[in-house]
């Protein structure tokens, strides 16, 4: 009987270990390919907010997924202008509108944007000992870039919350530190 119990215990342990490994593997988001950078035509890459322009011939990873969302999802906050003429390019995907930099709005990486399912919903962003609610109005495209539709900027990484100046201000981040910031976020 002791052998049966030991054998059963080992079998259950192995099954649990395999299940955990498969579950962990399913949550990994790997690049789904690359796009080759093209040099922007003169004056076509808006570098407001220190935005990057694509480099000729450089390979940029693309993602169709983002890390799993939790009540405390880790991400990188980046700075974006959602105003007409800003570095965000055209109007927002969710409502085909431009938004003031004084309004707390964000664009989420492709996987988190989830084909628009988070459109016009609020998320809570936390960093620097503070939190702010912001409305999802756009996608930070992780699958395309380096073209006119994307202001000749590279594709977003898969863990980006691209935020207006109002979000940065609400988090109390000094202006000279604006650009990239480790944060957490959650759905409201």
Tell me what percent of the residues of the chain surpass a pLDDT of 90: 68
Q: CATH: 3.30.420.40, 3.50.7.10, 1.10.357.10, 2.40.40.10. Which one for 29-187?
A: 2.40.40.10
Q: What is the mean pLDDT of the chain?
A: 87
pTM recorded for the entire structure: 0.81
Rounded to an integer, the average pLDDT of 107-127 is 98
The 3-class secondary structure across 96-160, one letter per residue, is: CCCCCCCCCEEEEEHHHHHHHCCCCCEEEEEECCEEEEEEEEEEECCCCCCCHHHCCCCCCCCCE
Residues 65-107: tens digit of each pLDDT: 999 999 999 999 999 999 998 877 789 999 999 999 999 999 9
pLDDT level of residue 9 (50, 70, 90 thresholds): low
């Amino acid at each position: 009987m002791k052998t049966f119990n030991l054998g059963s215990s080992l079998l259950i342990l192995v099954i649990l270990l395999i299940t955990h490994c498969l579950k962990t593997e399913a949550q990994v988001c790997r690049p789904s390919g690359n796009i080759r950078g093209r040099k922007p035509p003169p004056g076509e890459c808006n570098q407001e907010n220190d935005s990057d322009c694509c480099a000729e011939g450089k390979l940029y990873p693309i993602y169709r997924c983002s890390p799993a969302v939790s009540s405390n999802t880790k991400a990188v906050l980046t700075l974006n202008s959602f105003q007409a003429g800003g570095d965000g390019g055209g109007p927002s995907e969710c409502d085909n509108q431009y938004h003031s930099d004084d309004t707390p709005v964000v664009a989420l990486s492709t996987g988190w944007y989830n084909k628009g399912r988070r459109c016009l919903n609020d998320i809570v962003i936390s960093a620097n000992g503070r939190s702010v609610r912001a409305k999802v109005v756009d996608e930070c495209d992780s699958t395309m870039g380096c073209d006119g539709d994307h202001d000749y900027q590279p594709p977003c990484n898969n863990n980006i919350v691209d935020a207006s100046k109002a979000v940065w201000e609400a988090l109390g981040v000094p202006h000279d530190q604006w650009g990239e910031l480790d944060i957490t976020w959650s759905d409201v």
